[in-house]
Structure 1
């Protein structure tokens, strides 16, 4: 698989496989899978060449970290790049009080407690080491520091201040001690990524669903800033949580909810252009983010071997430049969206 080498700090950096693997589905997201099924999915990702894995305490309330850790303990540490997240402490609770009922299934009985303080970040980091059984992570992201997760701007502002005065200092300390190679944020809103980038010294952002075939507003100011500062982007949610994979069908998901009419209509128009050029909508959606020079890896995830293999094949599918030209002509893509290769790509 092709790789992209990132070295913002001049210390050797990290080498990302173009396709990474997001492990939220391995936390029994939307449906329960067995340990054996999860292991088969990870095996398939590895066989396809994937060497970057992203996880978080939230995914299955610790289940995803346990599963990916069990898998990666059988590999040599220098063979893979691994990121996890901080900002939540998982507390044991009665089953009826656990976080994610109806979203995560057959998980440990734990509830999330947001904690972006210095001690909270350190405790979360240590717990993640325990759950994975590994000795280190390469990247530490502060998780979900956005309005989408905290409900109001006021609540989000409170946690941002808690983080910048506490948890951020913990992450800087871990990086300064070479406990982790890079720090950043795993966030659903590009505006909050930009706010953090303006206030601190961050290396990478995992931007979920905000630079896709469907929406490119991050090109306004945030992504140009990343290019100028050498900040890398891991692109999560390339299918906008489902609709760019399924198409505008009944019940199609956008931002983890049923897609509104205007989104369904826009995706239908995009899909019509894809069909004109003999390209499937998911293939176009997966390939689009790779053209931006800040993107180091795209992490679509997957809950089955077929999904993993399908993503790998999609990345290997050539997309005619005329497809992107038509989308721009029809106003379905920003004119300033990059649509040609700008990375010096290495191949493994």
Structure 2
């Protein structure tokens, strides 16, 4: 059974709202309409309004910026990057545009370009904690855990009430091998937000790595109350239960995984092991067969051992 780390990326979104006292249809009127539609989920209508604004005023940085937001939400990251670039050419002094273009770069896997953009945003306004949090998240993608920890620390100092930087710093510490430091940070995140399911899950992983299986089980339980579809938590809780000799509990968790449609060879293999420890040999053989049919080689070896 494997424990799985999950990284949650938080993006800062800045929305420019323009108002006009001019009569009739104007670029700013369409921008405001587009923003309202975008917030209500009408992304197609929002794009139409931003396009109309640009027809009326091709040099309107707000229209490019907001169209970039919608394109990013739709997963059209290349289009979003192009829009943010146009907005920056017209208004190079707004940190939100650099941050969001950086986020779009990160979404396409261009992490170094993302760091350059978010660093430009920080240079324009070094007092926004979310910018450091976002840059730290990108640095984690490059496995620059020391740099990430530094950024998360800056974010936490600028706004100690934010839970996200503590959670993310905990992830960076965990990936860097500092498990106890990670547990401390996840706890700090949870002090700030008891409903932070990712922090419960991440602390559970760290406790699992430290050998605190009971603590891990409690954390996964709380994470699953908040997010019942967090399937990795069922898998990792099963591992913790099996480590404590609670094979029935481990089987129960893996049953849930399979009921949720997790056609994973490792899940069947692990459940087979737990059933074997419970003395349910027929059940174990059935699970090993299922796992082997899904391509798991360990199950083949387990079957050979059982038929000797």
TM-score using structure 1 length: 0.27
| Bigger fraction of residues in helix | 2
| Bigger fraction of residues in strand | 1
Which structure: larger Rg?
2
